[in-house]
Structure 1
Amino acid sequence: MKMLKYALVAAMALASVACSKWTDDERLTFDNQKDLKRAIPFIELTSADQLTAEQQKYYSELRAWKQTPHVRGFGWFGGWTAKGTDPQKYLRMLPDSVDIVSLWGTHGSLTEAQKTDLKLFREVKGGKVLLCWIVQNLGDQLTPQGKNATDYWVTEKGGGNFLEGVKAYANAICDTIEKYDLDGFDLDYEPGYGHSGNMATTTAWISETGNVNMYTFIKTLYDRLNPKGRIVVMDGEPYYMDRATSKMVSYYIYQAYDEATTARALQKLENGGTFGYDEEDYLDNWEGKSFLTLEFQKYSKTGGFPRYTSSNPEIQKLDAGRQIMDYATMLMPNGKRIAGIGTYHMELDTEGGSYRFLRQALNAGNRVSDTQKADFQ
């Protein structure tokens, strides 16, 4: 019993000393920790002002790097809430090497938590965030509930003129982009994949004389967004654009989900870029603006298509992740690295760690010496 009393007294004395040290005003601090009470985990940040000086320097350098030629990281991000302890619910917790995110399933009405998360991802990490959905018919995703799309967009907004209704629809998208300070629109164009309609067709080029409806839509977006530094990208089937239209689109994003070999993936890029009959019909700068993407809703645990065969012997040795590693290190016919890679439902990349496959692939794709910078585009 005496020993227990002595132990308690000793423990209280130690606690007193420890508490004294924790509250000591003269504790040692480093320059970048002055006036900082504790290091704040990135997931808990509410403002860039909470970053230490060392962190601010790092992220400044990261933002500068993203302005240089490199293999860009991209993805469609679903289930975004910016709440809780799961890092896969936050844009800010994406790998630093991610450049562009398309919001999948988010069409506006952001919460305060999402607005804060968006601001941190854009302003601290230098990422771009795009609104995104499939456009096959006029008014998709934005026609007010209970309204007929034609009545609303053509009759009410367009004064009876279909193309004026298209312009009104495109401008409504731009209004949402500007309201939430997003970086542009990812046009998901898939008429050949079962999503044809009065805006999307496989029977005509997107041009001033072909699919005029979609041409007008893209031009209206471009004219409104481009002067303010915002972008339009197209995913799905970019090869339906004529060359003039493609000049208004920053990137062509191909859904190379089930391509089983390096040759098939590269063929998808080449066929897309050179879909026209003559070189003058090719997509503008197709080698420098094309991305390949993978399906992580189905293949997140294997880093892409599980039976993928790479022409690179070192990549082929991998048990998993062959497809994403192959895409990230792919050389275009001009001898330069691919412009970018991405994943559908990127937030599902949790096998073996947060965003393991995307991190490793972008690291490999961008890992070259200073003398090889010209290999990027």
Structure 2
Amino acid sequence: MKKIFYFLFVMLIAMNLHSCDDWTEMETKNFEPEPLSEEYYAALREYKKSDHPLAFGWFGSWSPQGAASLYYSLKSIPDSVDIVSIWGSYGSLTQFQKDDLKYVQEVLGTRVTFTLFSHNMANLPGNFENIPENIPKAAKAIADSIHKYGYDGIDFDHECTSKDLLYKEENMTALLKEMRKLLGPDKLIIVDGFVELISEEGWKYADYAVSQAYGASSATRLKQRFDWIKEHIGPERYIVTENFESWAANGGVTFRDPERGEMPSLLGMAYWNPAEGRKGGLGTFHMEYEFSNNYKYLRQAIQIMNPAKK
């Protein structure tokens, strides 16, 4: 096992240090990354099964057809990313998308979910009346989509208001409970957004809390966010994310670290851990906006959290 991890980390170093002109522009030609050895992919999959801080991201530019640029493919994402959540259309997949999804799952070991707004029934699959009694039906419709297309789970974007059906703790708890019952223990259930609104019981059914810590400029800001929910989940289930729809070019806002000085906030998030223990990981919103820079900051953040062994 040590040899496998050594090989993997050496390869990851090579990938991070290597630059290629084809990856610095959104090319007009269609191309694929050069395949690596089977030993590399086997080691990569073993690495993703190990206990380590996760790399997460929302991908919002998935093309239904073989596009001119790898920008629109899940294959553009760094191999060492653990979880990707599709932002946008997740159903009626074309053959191109099915093949793309299968490749990153089976070859790279990447888990792929899709994002739904958990406000009201109108945001969930099925044309159900917006009443609590229909929560089990909506959960079944979500689970059916996950199984139909081969996704690894669901990501609920929980940014509702007090007027929304699923704002009430008991209703969102019921949805999470139904989802876990239908998906079993091996599929992912992620909640992002207003994670502090999820009840203690609700967190028994969900795997990760993804904090939209957008624009966090210090460890104090990150600590405040974790403090909101630390009574319900441990730090290893807490993932912090930055908004690359706004700040991909610079790796986030300016983050002030008392020991290391100023740096891009995504790197500050990579170094930061709660006092209670190691965090679950980090991620970026619209991760693909960093494609033209070869995912420079996300790669650096992954290396900070999981440094390659020389």
TM range (shorter): 0.7 to 0.9
Counterpart-to-counterpart distance in 2, 1:185 and 1:214:
14
What per-residue deviation string (whole Å, max 9, x for no partner) do you get for residues 299-335 of structure 1? 1111112x33223325x2x4xxx2011111212213x
SS in structure 1 of the partner of residue 299 of structure 2:
helix
**1:367 correspondence with 2:296:** no
Counterpart-to-counterpart distance in 1, 2:31 and 2:140:
34
What per-residue deviation string (whole Å, max 9, x for no partner) do you get for residues 177-198 of structure 1? 000010001011113xx58511
Match of 2:72 in 1: 89
Where does the alignment leave 5 or more consecutive residues of structure 1 unmatched? 1-41, 155-161, 207-211, 274-281, 371-377
Counterpart-to-counterpart distance in 2, 1:219 and 1:84:
39
CA separation of 1:175/1:56 partners in 2, compared to 1, >3 Å: closer, same or farther?
A: same
Structure 2 counterparts to residues 152-171 of structure 1, below 5 A:
162-171=131-140
Match of 1:263 in 2: 220
Aligned with residue 278 of structure 2, among 329, 332, 337: 337
**1:249 correspondence with 2:236:** no
TM-score, with normalisation over the residues of structure 1? 0.69
How far has the Cα of 1:87 moved from its partner? Answer: 2.2
How far has the Cα of 1:242 moved from its partner? Answer: 2.4
How far has the Cα of 1:219 moved from its partner? Answer: 0.7
Counterpart-to-counterpart distance in 2, 1:272 and 1:223:
24
Which structure carries more relative contact order (alpha carbon 8 Å, separation 6+)?
Answer: 2
Where does the alignment leave 5 or more consecutive residues of structure 2 unmatched? 1-29
Aligned with residue 197 of structure 2, among 230, 237, 240: 240
**1:291 correspondence with 2:274:** no
SS in structure 2 of the partner of residue 66 of structure 1:
helix
How far has the Cα of 1:268 moved from its partner? Answer: 1.1
SS in structure 1 of the partner of residue 155 of structure 2:
strand
Counterpart-to-counterpart distance in 2, 1:74 and 1:226:
22
Counterpart-to-counterpart distance in 2, 1:195 and 1:106:
27
Aligned with residue 141 of structure 2, among 172, 182, 190: 172
How far has the Cα of 1:200 moved from its partner? Answer: 1.8
What per-residue deviation string (whole Å, max 9, x for no partner) do you get for residues 220-262 of structure 1? 10111124x1111100122222222202111000000022222
How far has the Cα of 1:368 moved from its partner? Answer: 6.8
Identical amino acids, percent of aligned pairs: 30
RMSD: 2.3
Match of 1:302 in 2: 250
Counterpart-to-counterpart distance in 2, 1:283 and 1:133:
23
Q: Which amino acid aligns with 2:240?
A: L
Q: Which amino acid aligns with 2:294?
A: S
Counterpart-to-counterpart distance in 2, 1:368 and 1:125:
18
* Aligned partners of 2:212 and 2:241 also within 8 Å: yes
Match of 1:113 in 2: 96
* Aligned partners of 1:88 and 1:354 also within 8 Å: no
SS in structure 2 of the partner of residue 266 of structure 1:
helix
* Aligned partners of 1:329 and 1:338 also within 8 Å: no
What per-residue deviation string (whole Å, max 9, x for no partner) do you get for residues 117-154 of structure 1? 0000000110111121211112414245xxxx42xxx7
How far has the Cα of 1:369 moved from its partner? Answer: 5.9
Structure 2 counterparts to residues 1-377 of structure 1, below 5 A:
44=32, 55-81=37-63, 83-144=66-127, 149-150=128-129, 162-191=131-160, 194=161, 196-201=163-168, 206=169, 212-227=170-185, 229-273=186-230, 282-285=231-234, 287-305=235-253, 307-313=254-260, 316=262, 318=263, 322-334=264-276, 336-350=277-291, 353-367=293-307
Counterpart-to-counterpart distance in 2, 1:142 and 1:69:
33
Q: Which amino acid aligns with 1:308?
A: F
Counterpart-to-counterpart distance in 2, 1:104 and 1:301:
20
Counterpart-to-counterpart distance in 1, 2:145 and 2:307:
37
- Tell me which structure has the larger Cα radius of gyration: 1
* Aligned partners of 1:184 and 1:231 also within 8 Å: yes
